A and B are shown apart, each in its own frame.
Chain A
Amino acid sequence: MIEDEDIDGLAAEYVLGSLDPAERRQVDARRQTDAVLAAAIAAWERRLAPLSDRGQDVTPPAHVFDGILSRISGSAPPGHSDGRAEVVPLRRPSGRRRWMLAAAAGALAACLALAVVWLNYPQPGPQLHAKMNCSQLYKDFWVNRDTQAYVRLSAEQLAGVSRMALRAYDACEAGDEQDAKALFDRLQRMNF
């Protein structure tokens, strides 16, 4: 429960962007059920929106849109950009499914070992088979890096990587696959 009862001030800071992570999460949750807070947030979004017009526009790299298309379309091949690929409903983004398959392939040996363990469990449903292997993903991230790369990082950077990896693991364990996927994905693409 948020103790800050200056609803309008809280909404203003939320929209402005100055709240810390815990406060943002609390406001995100509370606005779903607190109509007064939700209305105050909407009003502040309208008040401050013109500021976005002042910021300089920046052209994103072309590959970004290809990435978006591959996430929202069923069969867009790499480099495909005419957007005519078949679009599938996004109740479950296909990009995530593909990523999970790739992750599963990368951890094949571990999966085989786990399969033996799973045989001792009650008959698992399809959802259980599709569940991410959080421990393996976390371990793979650290083991598959060039250890010399760590030497080049400052202590602060290494701590930052560690925190992000732990957040990814925690999100995965908590069942937040989309969040976990985004974090693991980002970690894998870090160049250090």
Chain B
Amino acid sequence: MPVSRQELIEALERTAGGDLAAFKAVYAATSVKLYGIIVRILGRPELADEVLQEVYVRVWQRAGDFDRTNSSPITWLATIARNRALDEVRRGTMRSLEDFPELLQLPSEDNPAAGHERNEELRRLYACLDGLEPDKKEIVLLVYYHGMTREEIATRFERPVATVKTWLRRSLAQLKDCLGK
């Protein structure tokens, strides 16, 4: 259910006041995105269901922490979902690359959502990612979208973990310089 940024902000703020209808609106508007984030990182739908529940319980409990002056609502929600999913996958819950062969698929770079408020930011970010060497760009995206650890990257690219760490730090520093903020 597409809603505007302003509608989502207001729904989150009403949620902070205990408005269940507003909470349902937040869920309806954002759960497909947050579930997508979690499924990509965990790779196991049966775990993703539980994590999504925990994420929204946290949203209900902590909606008062959302500060519209500091963050966009979807960034705030996506950060909660990513952190919870990363914590879960770092527990080592029997994840292996064989569990989900689709793991290494990355989102298409074509056709970003038309009219999306953050299209311009996304284009800038991708322009900067394109400035990285192709394999470094792939690594950054694999970690972001699928929560791959340095060790998993090292295995996949057959390089030492320390090298992967160096690659990541340099790539991220380059990205920051390119974005200029």
Among residues 59 to 101 in chain A, which have CB atoms less than 8 Å away from a CB atom of chain B?
59-61, 63-65, 67-68, 71-73, 83-84, 87, 90, 93, 95
Interface residue count on the B side (C-beta < 8 Å):
74
Q: How many A-B residue pairs have CB under 8 A?
A: 173
Interface residue count on the A side (C-beta < 8 Å):
57
Among residues 29 to 62 in chain A, which have CB atoms less than 8 Å away from a CB atom of chain B?
42-61
Which residues of chain B are near A67, meaning CB under 8 Å? 49, 53
- The answer to whether A17 touches B143 (Cβ under 8 A) is yes
Which residues of chain A are near B153, meaning CB under 8 Å? 18
- The answer to whether A52 touches B24 (Cβ under 8 A) is no
Among residues 145 to 172 in chain B, which have CB atoms less than 8 Å away from a CB atom of chain A?
145, 147-151, 153, 165, 168-169, 172
A13-B169, A59-B35 as given contacts; A21 in contact with B122, CB under 8 Å: no
A20: contacting residue among B96, B107, B144, B151, CB under 8 A: B151
B57 within 8 A of A: yes
Q: How far is the CB of B118 from chain A (nearest CB, A)?
A: 5
- The answer to whether A17 touches B147 (Cβ under 8 A) is yes
A157 to B78, CA, bound (A): 30
CB-based nearest A residue for B48? A60
A170 to B71, CA, bound (A): 36
A156 to B153, CA, bound (A): 20
- The answer to whether B173 touches A9 (Cβ under 8 A) is yes
Cβ contacts A to B, 23 pairs, < 8 Å: A8-B176, A12-B168, A17-B41, A18-B168, A21-B91, A42-B70, A43-B181, A45-B75, A55-B107, A55-B145, A56-B107, A57-B32, A58-B36, A60-B49, A64-B31, A65-B24, A67-B53, A71-B57, A83-B24, A87-B18, A90-B57, A167-B91, A182-B50
